[in-house]
């Protein structure tokens, strides 16, 4: 079949402007929607007239298009239409105005800046987490710089899902050896490893590590000479600081762990790798040296004491040190202390027995003892988790711990940690918006969800019953916390934010109202958690911007008023708690009580605005967030 001429209009909708790519079975055109004046990428998949193989290839391309059509993530180009016209199938997709990272790397002729690579790595962790978190999980299997498009605004798009695979229940991984040598994991391309460990989500983690390696060193990890066999895939990558000593040893550790030959020794989830990328500077030798110096100071004091004392006293001191270094003795000492002294003891107990959970729980309780989770305490917790979090991840109560950390950020975190001198030295929570707290809490609720195995009935310490469902609550809190980041990113990219608002509304409804057959998720939550989430709902409705988003997502005025009333009634029902905790809870109570009428007026004004309501589609709203 001859290629269609430029300026041809497909299905009366899409004008083909220019040829931008060509392959054996397809060509890609820059197309323009003649109705909306919007640019699209239009892939033409030609009819197969040359045998079964071409027919198979064409079917694979169509399968890929149907697969992408089910995905919804800002880093994945959308398939918006499929048209049969003139003997060919045309797949209409987002036009990605950018260049592959591999091309940019070649044109630069030097590696990318380390900070840029880390930022891109975090973005790729996000899209892989979306794919791995689907049901069933999706393994991308072909992550490499040539499949990552860098847009002008610095964001990334992941393209080419031709060999992506869904891990269906009962199947541990794909049995085929497939992928791109150099970037694909050993179990994808090496027969010996492949027979032992089929491809799964950890294979994408290897490819991400190899991709970051290539971007930060400029070296393509492809083939190495193999005597008698021509060439073999090289998996033992030279450490990045051996290539460039100025690079961070923390980043070197992240990449080295991601690219371990044995899947069991890699990061077991992209969430874990994302966390280390966000905190790679804390993995540096300088950070470890600081901890070692603190230990050296302690050791010198002990030695000085031994030298200064007689043999009998030295033996007594040695006995006391031995007893106090035991976990139970340290926990007993911590329980008899308070403030920073108790926190120090709990951290010491964690260092002695990092897999025992009660010291972590006591440390979290200590953080909220004064009503504020300060930035310094947040840093201390981050260091504890960085050093010992892997010892409890996958444990029987890991979700419980992560859920409690999420609540700590949601309810107690304050970036300024300001104190009210008129309140007798008590702490007044101020300086951090409610929505920002929710955003900081979201990753911890995500960890709580990932630690659970609902199909196996294992909720890793969360309470899940007919009346209380902390697993469903974690999912809802995660959605609410991620809303603000997702919305900002979608707006920056010019994407339709309707689904973002719809998911956020469903999470709010599940928390405050519930569904016909399910109680509200806050029905048995702690009072401070309820107050914070009532405040989140109230501020969302009081904001004309968010309210307009709800309206365009199909939420009715009646449902908005119903949710606002639920927040008001919920706050009213906590008046006793507010009176007993006036310093921390009073501002929330006053905000809702004093602003309720203004919020109602905002609802009437927004829904009565004919211009604002033009985008409303009348989609049925409400619905809970089930597990």
Pairing of strands 38-46, 79-85: unpaired
Are 256 and 309 in the same domain? no
What SS3 class is residue 91?
A: strand
Residues 6+ apart with CB under 8 A from 21: 27, 28
Report the distance separating Cα 330 and Cα 118, nearest Å: 39
Instruction: Give how far Cα 405 sits from Cα of 134, 186, 222, 490, Å.
Output: 25, 36, 42, 28
Buried b (16+ CB within 10 A) or exposed e, 456-492: eeebbbbeeeeebbbbbbbbbbbbbbbbbebbebbee
CB atoms within 10 A of CB 52: 8
- HSE-up (13 A, CA, CB side) for residue 392: 27
C-alpha closest to that of 158 among 265, 223, 240, 74: 74
509 lies in some domain: yes
Total structural domains within the chain:
5
Average pLDDT, the chain: 78
Domain end call among 283, 314, 346: 283
C-alpha closest to that of 384 among 353, 347, 412: 347
Report the distance separating Cα 114 and Cα 91, nearest Å: 37
Q: Please state the rounded mean pLDDT for residues 246-269.
A: 92
620 lies in some domain: no
> 3-state SS string over 142-156?
CCCHHHEEEECCCCE
| pLDDT tens digits along 269-286 | 999 999 999 889 887 665
Domain end call among 230, 263, 283: 283
623 lies in some domain: no
Residues 6+ apart with CB under 8 A from 219: 213, 238, 243
The CATH number of the domain holding residue 255 is: 1.10.510.10
Are 317 and 353 in the same domain? no
What is the model's pLDDT at position 349? 87
Are 141 and 124 in the same domain? yes
Q: DSSP for 527-563?
A: HHHHHHHHHHHHHHHH-HHHHHHHHHTT--HHHHHHH
Whether the pLDDT of residue 377 is over 70: the answer is yes
Report helix angle 339-352 to 327-335, nearest 10: 170
Q: How far is CA 569 from the centre of its chain?
A: 33
Tell me the two tokens of residue 273. 């790798």
pLDDT-based confidence at 418, cuts 50/70/90? Answer: very low
What is the model's pLDDT at position 245? 92
Are 515 and 543 in the same domain? yes
User: Is residue 455 exposed (0-12), middle (13-18) or buried (19+ Cβ within 10 Å)?
Assistant: exposed
Element (H, E) at 30: strand 26-33
627 lies in some domain: no
| pLDDT tens digits along 462-515 | 887 776 778 888 888 887 777 767 776 666 566 777 888 888 888 888 888 887
Report the distance separating Cα 269 and Cα 202, nearest Å: 7
Whether the pLDDT of residue 230 is over 70: the answer is no
Q: Would you give the DSSP letter of residue 518?
A: B
Buried b (16+ CB within 10 A) or exposed e, 67-80: bbeebebbbbbbbe
Are 486 and 508 in the same domain? yes
Are 53 and 144 in the same domain? no
Are 470 and 546 in the same domain? yes
Whether the pLDDT of residue 593 is over 80: the answer is yes
Tell me the two tokens of residue 191. 């027969």
Top mean pLDDT of 212-221, 420-429, 449-458, 499-508 is at 212-221
Q: What is the CA radius of gyration of the chain?
A: 28
C-alpha closest to that of 534 among 503, 560, 566: 566
Instruction: Give how far Cα 272 sits from Cα of 42, 57, 167, 444, 607, Å.
Output: 37, 37, 20, 11, 43
408 lies in some domain: no
pLDDT: which is higher, 11 or 174: 11
| pLDDT tens digits along 512-550 | 888 767 778 777 777 888 888 888 888 888 877 788 888
What SS3 class is residue 360?
A: helix
Report the distance separating Cα 487 and Cα 478, nearest Å: 14
What is the model's pLDDT at position 494? 63
404 lies in some domain: no
Are 249 and 335 in the same domain? no
Report the DSSP beta bridge partners of residue 43.
Answer: 28, 91
Are 53 and 128 in the same domain? no
Range of the domain at 68: 9-94
Q: Please state the rounded mean pLDDT for residues 549-556.
A: 86
Domain end call among 77, 94, 111: 94
Report the distance separating Cα 200 and Cα 166, nearest Å: 9
C-alpha closest to that of 485 among 497, 471, 470, 473: 497
pLDDT: which is higher, 246 or 464: 246
C-alpha closest to that of 363 among 379, 377, 376: 377
pLDDT: which is higher, 47 or 43: 43
pLDDT-based confidence at 424, cuts 50/70/90? Answer: very low
Are 373 and 291 in the same domain? no
Choice among 132-136, 190-194, 294-298, 548-552 with the minimum mean pLDDT: 294-298
Instruction: Give how far Cα 331 sits from Cα of 337, 361, 384, 398, 439, Å.
Output: 10, 12, 16, 20, 33
Instruction: Evaluate whether 223 touches 233 at the Cβ level (below 8 Å).
Output: yes
Whether the pLDDT of residue 175 is over 70: the answer is no
Residues 6+ apart with CB under 8 A from 521: 469, 472, 473, 476, 510, 511, 514, 624, 625
441 lies in some domain: yes
The CATH number of the domain holding residue 42 is: 3.30.200.20
Residue 95 preceded by cis peptide, ω within 30: no
What is the model's pLDDT at position 594? 87
Whether the pLDDT of residue 370 is over 60: the answer is yes
Are 89 and 132 in the same domain? no
Q: Would you give the DSSP letter of residue 111?
A: P
Whether the pLDDT of residue 440 is over 90: the answer is no
pTM of the prediction?
A: 0.47
What is the model's pLDDT at position 305? 57
| pLDDT tens digits along 323-348 | 444 788 888 888 888 888 888 888 88
What is the model's pLDDT at position 295? 45
Q: Please state the rounded mean pLDDT for residues 575-604.
A: 85
Are 331 and 472 in the same domain? no
262 lies in some domain: yes
Residue 169's region, left for phi above 0, alpha for psi from -120 to 50, else beta, is: beta
What is the model's pLDDT at position 47? 62
Q: Please state the rounded mean pLDDT for residues 109-117.
A: 93
- HSE-up (13 A, CA, CB side) for residue 337: 17
Whether the pLDDT of residue 416 is over 70: the answer is no
User: Is residue 263 exposed (0-12), middle (13-18) or buried (19+ Cβ within 10 Å)?
Assistant: buried
What is the model's pLDDT at position 585? 79
């Amino acid at each position: 079949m001859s290629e269609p001429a430029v300026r041809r209009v497909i299905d009366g909708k899409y004008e083909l402007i220019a040829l931008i790519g060509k392959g054996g079975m397809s060509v890609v055109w820059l197309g323009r929607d003649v109705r909306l004046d919007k640019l699209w990428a239009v892939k033409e998949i030609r009819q197969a007239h040359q045998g079964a193989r071409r027919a198979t290839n064409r079917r694979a391309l169509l399968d890929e298009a149907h697969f992408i059509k089910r995905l919804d993530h800002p880093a994945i180009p959308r398939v918006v239409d499929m048209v049969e016209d003139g003997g060919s199938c045309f797949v209409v997709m987002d036009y990605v105005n950018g260049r592959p990272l591999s091309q940019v790397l070649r044109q630069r002729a030097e590696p990318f800046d380390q900070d840029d690579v880390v930022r891109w790595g975090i973005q790729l962790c996000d899209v892989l987490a979306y794919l791995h978190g689907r049901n069933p999980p999706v393994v991308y299997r072909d992550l490499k710089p040539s499949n990552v498009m860098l847009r002008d605004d610095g964001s990334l798009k992941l393209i080419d899902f031709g060999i992506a695979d869904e891990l269906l229940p009962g199947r541990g991984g794909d049995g085929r050896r497939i992928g791109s040598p150099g970037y694909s994991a050993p179990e994808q391309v090496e027969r010996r490893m492949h027979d032992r460990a089929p491809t799964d989500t950890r294979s994408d983690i290897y490819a991400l590590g190899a991709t970051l390696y290539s971007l930060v060193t400029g070296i393509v990890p492809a083939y190495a000479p193999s005597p008698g066999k021509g060439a073999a895939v090289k998996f033992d990558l030279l450490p990045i600081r051996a290539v460039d000593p100025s690079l961070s040893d923390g980043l070197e550790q992240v990449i080295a762990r991601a690219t371990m030959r044995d899947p069991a020794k890699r990061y077991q989830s992209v969430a874990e790798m994302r966390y280390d990328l966000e905190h790679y500077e804390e993995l540096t030798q300088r950070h470890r040296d600081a901890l070692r110096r603190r230990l050296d100071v302690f050791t010198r004091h002990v030695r000085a004491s031994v030298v200064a004392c007689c043999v009998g006293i030295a033996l007594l001191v040695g006995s006391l040190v031995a007893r106090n270094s035991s976990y139970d003795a340290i926990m007993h000492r911590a329980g008899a202390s308070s403030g920073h002294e108790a926190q120090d003891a709990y951290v010491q107990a964690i260092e002695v027995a990092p897999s025992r959970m009660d010291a972590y729980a006591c440390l979290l309780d200590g953080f909220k003892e004064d009503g504020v989770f300060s930035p310094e305490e947040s840093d201390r917790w981050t260091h504890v988790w960085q050093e010992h979090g892997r010892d409890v991840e996958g444990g029987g109560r890991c979700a419980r711990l992560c859920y409690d950390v999420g609540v700590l950020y949601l309810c107690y975190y304050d970036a300024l940690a300001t104190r009210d001198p008129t309140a007798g030295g008590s702490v007044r929570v101020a300086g951090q918006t409610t929505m920002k707290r929710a955003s900081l809490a979201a990753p911890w609720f995500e960890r709580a969800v990932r630690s659970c195995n609902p199909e196996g009935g294992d909720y890793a310490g969360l309470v899940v019953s007919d009346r209380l469902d902390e697993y469903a609550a974690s999912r809802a809190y995660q959605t609410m916390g991620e809303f603000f980041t997702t919305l900002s990113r979608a707006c920056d990219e010019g994407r339709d934010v309707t689904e973002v608002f719809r998911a956020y509304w469903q999470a709010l409804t599940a928390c405050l109202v519930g569904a016909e057959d399910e109680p509200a998720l806050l029905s048995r939550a702690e009072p401070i958690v309820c107050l914070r989430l009532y405040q989140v709902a109230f501020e969302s409705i009081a904001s004309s911007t968010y309210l307009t988003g709800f309206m365009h997502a199909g939420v009715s005025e009646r449902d908005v008023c119903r949710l606002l009333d639920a927040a008001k009634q919920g706050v009213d029902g906590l008046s006793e708690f507010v009176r007993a905790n006036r310093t921390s809870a009073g501002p929330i109570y006053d905000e809702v009580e004093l602003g309720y009428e203004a919020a109602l007026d905002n609802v009437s004004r927004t829904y009565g605005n004919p211009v604002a309501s033009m985008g409303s589609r009348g989609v049925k709203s409400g619905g809970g967030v089930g597990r």
